[in-house]
Amino acid sequence: MSTVSNEITHEQQPFDVAWRTVDGLKIRFATDGRGDEKVVFFSPWPESILAFTPVWGGLTAQFEVLAIDLPGFGRSEARDDLFAPRTMGGFIAKAFDAFGLTSVHAVLDLTWARRPFSLPHSPDQNFFAVSSWVPAPRRTHSR
């Protein structure tokens, strides 16, 4: 026989969260750290910026870190048109502008985007994007 505990454990997150309006949506973010380079994390599908809790301390010791819940994820507001890769790319470019970012290392989880993903680019912006998207292994069927 198993028992179920009524106790819920809440882990302390290593950062404070705040909200900023981007493209008319209330977007949750966290920022901390110091360094010559800025690293921007976008919430991994289908999670939130809390997914970065285990690596937050190590990263903020070396870099200025910004984590953003994409629209519809975590505690950020959603808009249906942003669930397509091209429009989400446009939103991310607007988020860069809203946070005054011109040169960053951006870490994106493109699991939700099976089609090509692009960010609008201007000559005064310098972004290096790293995707954590990995194709799913092919399934084999045995008979």
pLDDT tens for residues 60-108?
A: 999 999 999 999 999 999 999 998 877 888 898 899 899 998 877 777 7
Q: Which of 3-7, 21-25, 72-76 has the lowest mean pLDDT?
A: 3-7
Q: Is residue 36 part of a domain?
A: yes
The pLDDT, as a whole number, for residue 133 is 39
User: What's residue 118's pLDDT?
Assistant: 53
For residue 63, the enclosing domain spans: 17-131
DSSP H or E segment with residue 90: helix 85-98
pLDDT band at 46 (very low <50, low <70, confident <90, very high): confident
Residue 35, domain member (yes or no): yes
Asked if residue 3 is part of any domain, the answer here is no
Per-residue model confidence (pLDDT) at position 138: 43
pLDDT at res. 67: 93
**Total domains, the chain:** 1
For the whole prediction, is pTM greater than 0.85? no
In a domain, 24, yes or no: yes
Report whether pLDDT(112) > 70: no
Predicted local confidence at residue 137, as pLDDT? 41
**Contact between 74 and 28 (Cβ < 8 Å):** yes
Residue 143: inside a domain: no
β-strand 38-42 against 64-68: which pairing, if any? parallel
Residue 110 has pLDDT above 80, yes or no: no
Domain assignment present for 29: yes
Residue 28 maps to which CATH number?
A: 3.40.50.1820
Would you say residue 114 lies in a domain?
Answer: yes
> Whole-angstrom Cα distance, residue 106 to residue 130?
6
Counting residues of the chain whose pLDDT is more than 90, the rounded percentage is 32
pLDDT at residue 136 in the model: 38
12 lies in a domain?
Answer: no
Report d(CA 78, CA 121) in Å as an integer.
24
